[in-house]
Chains A and B, each alone.
Chain A
Amino acid sequence: MGSITLANVTKSFGAVNVIPPLNLEINEGEFVVFVGPSGCGKSTLLRLIAGLEDVTSGTISIDGADATAVPPAKRGLAMVFQSYALYPHMSVRKNISFPLKMAGLDQAEIDKKVNGAAEVLNLSDYIDRRPGQLSGGQRQRVAIGRAIVREPEAFLFDEPLSNLDAALRVNMRLEITELHQNLKTTMIYVTHDQVEAMTMADKIVVLRAGFIEQVGSPLELYRSPANLFVAGFIGSPKMNFLTGAAAAKYDATTIGIRPEHVSLSDKEGDWKGVVGVAEHLGSDTFLYVKLEDGTQFTVRAEGEVSFEHGDTVYASAASADRIYRFDDKDIAL
């Protein structure tokens, strides 16, 4: 249970085509992340699956049954919204029990499930408070609680962590991943943050302007990006790109090399440049090097490195198979 198939799905708002014909298979139990820059259509895609928007054409099936015309309430999906969308006039308990009440469960069963969920999510102490009295992280957990009590076919997350501060975000990321490992329910997660995508997903769907650029596991996308866009989007810091003569040497229009795959020397190497800023993080050092032709080049060196602002350095690929080659259409070679 919990497989979702999109076949030739399109969505237009008036004359604006947001989703071109799109096909996607989401398997049962998978953690799928839709990632892409803002405006790429990832949230629209999620809302189409939820049934909050009508598809313009194409079909969406859930567990093999055509669900295109099924209203959101009947699709058996649960959703966690970016703003959490908690009901401000209801206590935490009422919020979590709302979907069960709508489903017509009897009170004893509702109480059992709500108490169970509150326990799992550490909400028992706040169960009678209203959302306005909770912190961001607690609200987030209530929203998740409201989603899990229904035991849905699949969970939909719409940028759920974007309103939290950095430390809390890391925590909640772990909690959601753990939740997935325990429940083994299909989860579809939308984010613009590639770190969240890399750390959480079984399968990443990279979107740009409504088109799927690439689908694959985090490491597949990291190791063999299908094109320049995916190469630049996945991985942090961003991949360095070189064009012109440097690329021609490798028989490509553009070559890319990740900052962590660069070795530095003060004497010799392929690309000469001057260190602009050096960020010393202790475990790593990020060096922002300006090459002779003006290209910005990022280098990630392990541990503490002694280069400083103004030093002349030579960068080269740690090994030749770490260089990605792209043709004049930005497709990987």
Chain B
Amino acid sequence: MTNNNPNYNKLIVTLFAWAIGLLIFFPILWTILTSFKTEAEAIASPPLFLGFNWTLENYLEVHERSNYFLHFWNSVVISVGSTLLGLLIAIPAAWAMAFVPAKQTKNVLMWMLSTKMLPPVGVLIPIYLLFRDFGLLDTRVGLVIVLTLINLPIIVWMLYTYFKEIPGEILEAARMDGATLWSEVIYVLTPMAVPGIASTLLLNIILAWNEAFWTLNLTAAKAAPLTAFIASYSSPEGLFYAKLSAASTMAIAPILIMGWFSQKQLVRGLTFGAVK
């Protein structure tokens, strides 16, 4: 510890940090590796790390046995659909609250947030019964509606914090420059708001993709997204490690990649702007 060579310290930190990073990442890495093994290799003792016959057969089999792509497509439709619908409702609201603040704006924002804190079990039964009565159980439409509503507060909040950072003087300048409301929106507001909207979109797709309370309770075979489909592996198919791994890898890969691109926005979105 008496060695003060900065490079020596940096090396120690680097080794330590990489070790911890790989340890935390290991379950994901292991899942990805296992997905390329045969079932026998997957349960081999001692476990095989890299020395096995790489195969893609699990990926093909997962689909053949269970129509994997239907569930993948359900996930896409539900997460993208609910996010776009949410944005459609939230953009005007966040815009108005950020640029035309009224006395009640703060209270409205706080109230919206409070709806997010309602535990889902508090409304599980009525939603289930309403869905049953309206024929929405196990439909993509039904899930889009529910996920839009549960994520709407987060969407409004994120957009609000982004819009809030657009200086009001710029919009006033546009007005002084002779812009009508529409040209103000098209030429000034939209280009400045696009980065914020994109981040919001990204984070919400992630949240909706991984949502696992309503998707599990409101779907069966037809509209089940990947969260619910994977849950069906809980037994006994879960014991087919290679297939479980292939299905899991496909389910998490797109979101893992999106997630890495939206680290910063994640902090902001999930803390409702309390930490930036």
Bind each other? yes
A interface residues (Cβ-Cβ under 8 A, vs B):
50-52, 71-74, 77-79, 81-83, 85-90, 98-99, 101-103, 146, 150, 156
Q: A83-B167, A89-B191 are in contact. Are A99 and B172 (CB under 8 A)?
A: no
Q: CA–CA, A11 to B121, complex, Å?
A: 51
Across the interface, A85 reaches (CB within 8 A) one of B170, B180, B187, B191, namely B170
Tell yes or no: B183 within 8 A of A by CB. Answer: yes
- A99 engages B177 (CB within 8 Å): yes
Inside 8 A of B176's CB, which chain A residues have their CB? 50, 52, 72-73, 77-79, 156
Q: CA–CA, A52 to B177, complex, Å?
A: 12
Knowing that A79-B176, A103-B178 touch, tell me 10 more A-B residue pairs with CB under 8 angstroms: A71-B175, A79-B173, A85-B167, A87-B170, A87-B173, A87-B174, A87-B187, A89-B191, A90-B191, A150-B178
Q: CA–CA, A102 to B178, complex, Å?
A: 6
Q: A85-B167, A102-B179 are in contact. Are A52 and B192 (CB under 8 A)?
A: no
Q: CA–CA, A307 to B179, complex, Å?
A: 61
Tell yes or no: B237 within 8 A of A by CB. Answer: no
Across the interface, A98 reaches (CB within 8 A) one of B169, B174, B192, namely B174
The 8 closest A-B pairs by CB, nearest first: A99-B177, A85-B173, A85-B169, A102-B178, A89-B191, A79-B176, A73-B178, A72-B175
Q: CA–CA, A72 to B172, complex, Å?
A: 9
B174 to chain A, nearest CB (A): 7
Tell yes or no: B188 within 8 A of A by CB. Answer: yes
Number of interface residues of B (CB under 8 A): 17
B95 to chain A, nearest CB (A): 17
Closest to B172 in A: A52
A-B contact pairs, 26 of them (CB 8 A): A50-B176, A52-B175, A52-B176, A72-B172, A72-B176, A73-B177, A78-B177, A79-B173, A81-B172, A81-B173, A83-B167, A83-B169, A85-B172, A87-B170, A87-B173, A88-B192, A89-B192, A90-B191, A98-B177, A98-B179, A99-B177, A99-B178, A101-B187, A102-B179, A103-B178, A156-B176
B interface residues (Cβ-Cβ under 8 A, vs A):
167, 169-170, 172-180, 183, 187-188, 191-192
B126 to chain A, nearest CB (A): 41
Q: CA–CA, A90 to B177, complex, Å?
A: 14
Inside 8 A of B169's CB, which chain A residues have their CB? 81-83, 85
B152 to chain A, nearest CB (A): 28
Q: Is the interface of B mostly helix, strand, loop or mixed?
A: helix
Inside 8 A of A89's CB, which chain B residues have their CB? 191-192
Inside 8 A of B192's CB, which chain A residues have their CB? 87-89
Q: CA–CA, A184 to B252, complex, Å?
A: 67
- B170 engages A73 (CB within 8 Å): no
- B167 engages A87 (CB within 8 Å): no
- A102 engages B183 (CB within 8 Å): yes
Inside 8 A of A77's CB, which chain B residues have their CB? 176
Q: A81-B172, A87-B188 are in contact. Are A73 and B180 (CB under 8 A)?
A: yes
Closest to B180 in A: A73
Q: CA–CA, A79 to B183, complex, Å?
A: 18
Inside 8 A of B172's CB, which chain A residues have their CB? 50, 52, 72, 79, 81, 85
Closest to A158 in B: B169
A158 to chain B, nearest CB (A): 9
Closest to B171 in A: A85
A35 to chain B, nearest CB (A): 21
Q: CA–CA, A74 to B173, complex, Å?
A: 13
A78 to chain B, nearest CB (A): 6
Closest to B169 in A: A85
- B177 engages A102 (CB within 8 Å): yes
Closest to B173 in A: A85
A159 to chain B, nearest CB (A): 12
Closest to B183 in A: A102
Q: CA–CA, A101 to B173, complex, Å?
A: 14
Inside 8 A of A101's CB, which chain B residues have their CB? 187
- Give the interface centre of A73, A77, A103 by most chain B CB atoms within 10 Å: A73
Inside 8 A of A82's CB, which chain B residues have their CB? 169
- A150 engages B175 (CB within 8 Å): no
Closest to A89 in B: B191
Q: CA–CA, A102 to B185, complex, Å?
A: 13
Inside 8 A of A150's CB, which chain B residues have their CB? 177-178
Closest to B190 in A: A89
Inside 8 A of A72's CB, which chain B residues have their CB? 172, 175-176
Inside 8 A of B183's CB, which chain A residues have their CB? 102
Inside 8 A of A90's CB, which chain B residues have their CB? 191
A13 to chain B, nearest CB (A): 11
Inside 8 A of B188's CB, which chain A residues have their CB? 87
B102 to chain A, nearest CB (A): 11
Closest to B103 in A: A14
Inside 8 A of A146's CB, which chain B residues have their CB? 173, 177
Q: CA–CA, A72 to B56, complex, Å?
A: 65
A129 to chain B, nearest CB (A): 17
Q: CA–CA, A283 to B176, complex, Å?
A: 45
Q: CA–CA, A85 to B178, complex, Å?
A: 15
Closest to B176 in A: A79
Closest to A78 in B: B176
- Give the interface centre of A72, A82, A156 by most chain B CB atoms within 10 Å: A72
A239 to chain B, nearest CB (A): 35
- Give the interface centre of A50, A102, A103 by most chain B CB atoms within 10 Å: A102
Q: CA–CA, A86 to B176, complex, Å?
A: 12
Closest to A143 in B: B173
